[in-house]
Structure 1
């Protein structure tokens, strides 16, 4: 009998000893209430609960709702550690089902009493609970510059260097232009991949060439359709931007501006065409018909003579559309005329020397700029 009783005592004490070794016990204090029940006082949020066990403690610190309220003040590394402990515990149990939703797990609380929250004296009992969406747990978190992940915070300099080297190898191997790294979509792609986590498989050659290209085209079409509805509601302005590329081709870009945004329509190569007023007017007619004559209220081009005549022809055909020269082009011509004045020409030449000095002596400027009184220095040169 003594042997059996001692075995029972050792068996009963084993879970207690195992539980005290759990890291979760370090994050709360245990007291006894008036009714003799254990009261668990949490270190971070200062909430107190009765009838909870080590499992609910982990869920509280891990920020997993469903069985107990989540802690709002626990540090990020403690939260991640508790989540890893819960995942490891579930992996050890080797459940037959593949449901790894952390909100489940009622079998873990068979030996625990009904939980009772003890409100903190400084907290208003009648406060309204904020509505928490249940959709967030199904979405993959995306990292941003204002919300760094734990791994990125504690990543060593060598790991960061290694990641950047991998990106550099890819850029060099694919012969990308370095300006491609200035694209705003580059960081968005990095954030999306980091949000998915380790094991993300890059899109295949066929996906980029066919499937994803079609999806991007659909997105662009939907965006233009949203802008088109704004054209009908508020009207729009057509802008014709003439320029010459590095192959000495004369191009005219047509864009549509509205309060919702700017839309590129098309680019026309007019290198072999005679850019007289009737030819330009026919191009304007074609673009106006695509946008919708009733949606266009304004046409903006440069103030060359052929564009002026084409603008008058456009207004003659569509009396609701008015032409005006580009303000930036007019200002450029105005500044060009001002710079041709004798005294302004002298000042421009002196300013050019200052600019040349700063460009050619960057190291000197970087080292000695703080020691120089820049304003006096510039006035002396002028």
Structure 2
């Protein structure tokens, strides 16, 4: 009994102490200065000193609302001074904000990762009917019902049916409109400061995950704290790796159906290490496998083939149709060893690299090299003087002049084309009052540049070279595209390049022969493989085009050679089904199949119309679904390098390309109207002009 009375006394003592401290704290409230407290029969009553009204209960908060003029608890005070009323209103606002912040902090501290998992995302609380929660309030201190399957129902996420507010062109939310520009500016500055402080490249904003990151933070609401160092380093990284593994596994099932290409992209870094990036290509996308330091392996074909063998084993030999590497001798030997071990794999050199070497050899021709040097003299002069750039940028529809890269030889010819497009702007510059009266006009080197810019023969020569090389540039863009498979277009593309060059020179052998010989030498001795010809023959766009197929009879034997060397079972069935395809029988002969032969992707066409020849269908899809290049030589189609302004020395500006001053030259132009007319002819003709019904550019259109 004694022990029981002790806690009771302690409890009373504690309660009294708390009450006293509470009373002391309450007396500090500014509202006490405007009321008096009276005790009657042990009960407190309060009287306003401004209006004399008396009320019982409710405490100081009720009195504060009375002084602030807020109706509801009691009538507003009519005699309170304005400054006192304003003080009470502001005090109530601060208390309200403090309570909201406390609530948010409690929610943030009680956050559980499980509540963000998919099984909790679409759960909606059902409020029980009745006068109140009753005993449910006793389930926890917060008064919420315990989480269980009772009282909940699944609902669809309405966000799945509408585009996010951050989608370009989407209507902004009312909340974002009311937030104002200043608030958005503060948020933008917070992001910018973090990026600048952490030295994060600004091009990260182009990441597909950039805006979704902010969407997720905004949907969480206030109180979100970013992941810490450990979370990013361990659990989140582990989860991201798991997601990537799921993507790779989904591609792996695709490899079994369409086959895939192993891409070995070799390059040398600034430390002179030979690195090889291994990637797997299929129509669904490219998967990066690994990057290997092959400095001690690359010179030995056997060691290199062993490295390739490891990659083949990881991907699965049965899934691989094609191996693409550099065309150096060690890679060729390694590819031959690997194909000898795995009969179903075909090796070929990188198409983009072979075309790049063609550009390099043509660029070494004397008249082309001298023309490029004269053109680069103009570019260097313009980009070494800020005032000249500023004047040119005031011209209507001005775009920057493309400058050639040091190792990407196609950009030399792209730069010539870009310079040619700016002919009128450059001539307007050097004849303008601004330039004539400037100090640049008196410079000796500047006078030489002006002489080149005003030389019509220089522009005519640029016109010729650009038109000669445009077929090769088109083909390079086709084979270098990662968007759609290009294997079915390599063979025909090379022949159309040659035919296009001959057409530009009106079949005058003396003029086209130097260029065609370079192309043929690379194609015959280095580039061509049977898989290119087989892909051409299986491409319905060319198989059902009588104007081209009869000229490529050698491709039929290439198909049978590939079947004999790469197929181990079902050969006779394949040969029988080849006849169905060639003769346009059964599903191959339908009107829809014929009409879509030139508009559909070859591999997709076979999936739709090859059901009557299932063995050939699988064979054709696996060949036509492959890429022809191992790396990108024309990323973004036009390559600019700010560090490549200072090019090598320039030749004599009076030197003219041999044959270009011939009066009978097929594209020798004397006035601007003729040149513009040739531009239009080249746009509609050129390398692929004889086959307007085949649009090669659709391969790299997004």
Indicate whether the TM-score tops 0.5.
yes
If the length of structure 1 is used for normalisation, what is the TM-score?
A: 0.60
CA contact (8 A) 1:142 1:194 kept: no
Instruction: Name the CA distance, whole Å, in 2 between partners of 1:290 and 1:283.
Output: 11
Q: In structure 1, how many angstroms separate the alpha carbons of the residues matched to 2:254 and 2:310? A: 20
Secondary structure class of the residue paired with 1:144: coil
C-alpha distance in 2 between matches for 1:176 and 1:161: 20
| Matches of 1:359 and 1:153, distance apart in 2 | 44
**Structure 1 match to 2:309:** 285
Kept in 2: contact 1:256–1:265 (CA 8 A): yes
Per the alignment, residue 325 of structure 1 pairs with 349
Asked whether the 8 Å contact 1:301–1:326 carries over to 2, the reply is: yes
Q: Per chain length, whose mean CA-contact separation is higher, i.e. which structure has more relative contact order (CA < 8 Å, sep 6+)?
A: 2
Residue 376 of structure 2 aligns to a residue whose secondary structure is helix
Kept after mapping to 1: 8 A contact 2:305/2:334: yes
Deviation at residue 177 of structure 1 after TM alignment = 3.5
- 1:371 is displaced (CA, Å) by 8.9
- Which residue number corresponds to residue 376 of structure 1? 424
Matched, 1:143 2:158: no
| Contact residue 143 and residue 194 of structure 1 kept, 8 A | no
Structure number, greater radius of gyration:
2
Q: Which aligned pairs between 1:147-296 and structure 2 lie closer than 5 A?
A: 147=170, 148-296=172-320
Aligned length: 262
Instruction: Please tell me whether the aligned partners of residues 238 and 299 of structure 1 are also in contact (alpha carbons under 8 angstroms).
Output: yes
Q: Counterparts of 1:198 and 1:150 in 2: how far apart (Å)?
A: 18
Aligned 8 A contact 1:142 1:192 in 2: no
Q: Which residue of 2 is the match for residue 17 of structure 1? A: none
Shift in Å, 1:365: 2.7
The alpha-carbon distance between structure 1 residues 347 and 187, as it changes in their structure 2 partners (threshold 3 A), is: farther
Q: Helix, strand or coil for the counterpart of 1:348? A: helix
Equivalent position to 1:367, from 363, 386, 394: 394
- Write the distance in 2 (CA, Å) between the matches of 1:258 and 1:374: 40
Distance change (3 Å), C-alpha of 1:251 and 1:371? closer
Larger displacement relative to structure 2 (361-370 or 213-222): 361-370
Pairwise CA RMSD of aligned residues? 3.5
3-state DSSP class of the match of 1:176? Answer: coil
Per-residue CA deviation, residues 11-62 of structure 1 (Å, 9 max, x unaligned), is: xxxxxxxxxxxxxxxxxxxxxxxxxxxxxxxxxxxxxxxxxxxxxxxxxxxx
Q: In the aligned structure 2, how far is the partner of 1:154 from the partner of 1:304?
A: 63
Deviations 1:108-137 (A, max 9, x none): xxxxxxxxxxxxxxxxxxxxxxxxx94125
Answer whether contact 1:358 1:365 (CA < 8 A) is retained: no
Partner SS for 1:297: strand
Q: Could you tell me how far apart the structure 2 residues matched to 1:347 and 1:106 are? A: 88
What is the DSSP-based 3-state SS (H/G/I as helix, E as strand, rest coil) of the residue aligned with 1:263?
strand
* The structure with more strand, counted as a fraction of residues: 1
Query: C-alpha separation between the residues in 1 aligned to 2:243 and 2:362?
Result: 46
Q: How does 1:83-94 map to 2 (within 5 A)?
A: none
Q: 1:159 to 1:347 in 2, by over 3 A?
A: farther
- How far does the alpha carbon of each residue in 1:229-251 deviate from its partner, in whole angstroms, 9 at most, with x for none? 11111111001000112222210
1:144 Cα deviation from its structure 2 partner = 1.9
Q: Deviations over 1:264-317 (max 9, x none)?
A: 111110123352211211111111111111111100011111111111111111
Q: Distance in 1 between matches of 2:313 and 2:127?
A: 60
Instruction: Report how far residue 106 of structure 1 moved.
Output: 8.3
The worse-fitting range, judged by mean Cα deviation, of 137-146 and 254-263 is: 137-146
CA contact (8 A) 2:124 2:155 kept: no
CA, structure 1 residues 102+348, in 2 after alignment: closer, same or farther (shift >3 Å)?
A: farther
1:365/1:197 CA distance change after superposition, 3 Å: farther
Measure, in 1, the Cα distance between the counterparts of 2:398 and 2:244: 52
Between the aligned partners of 2:377 and 2:126, the Cα distance in structure 1 is 69
Q: Distance in 1 between matches of 2:277 and 2:370?
A: 37
Inter-partner Cα distance in structure 1 for 2:129 and 2:376: 76
**Matched residues in 2 for 1:217 and 1:371: separation?**
46
Q: Which runs of 5+ in 1 are unaligned?
A: 1-99, 108-132
- The question of whether the paired residues in 2 share the 8 Å contact of 1:142 and 1:195 is answered with no
Tell me the distance in 2 between the aligned counterparts of 1:151 and 1:348: 58
Distance 1:208 1:284 in 2: 34
What is the Cα deviation at residue 190 of structure 1?
1.6
Q: Does the CA contact (< 8 Å) of 1:238 and 1:296 recur in 2? A: yes
Q: Identify if the C-alpha distance between structure 1 residues 336 and 179 changes in structure 2 by more than 3 Å, giving closer, same or farther.
A: same
CA 1:348/1:256 → structure 2, altered by over 3 Å: closer, same or farther?
A: same
* Cα deviations by residue, 1:117-176 (Å, 9 ceiling, x for unpaired): xxxxxxxxxxxxxxxx94125889843233233333444332232222111221233233
Give me the TM-score of the superposition, normalised by structure 2. Answer: 0.34
Question: C-alpha distance in 2, partners of 1:272/1:210?
Answer: 34
Change in Cα spacing, 1:247 to 1:329, as seen in structure 2 (3 Å) is: same
CA distance in 2, matches of 1:287, 1:263: 13
Distance 1:252 1:103 in 2: 59
Distance in 2, Cα, partners of 1:356 & 1:150: 52
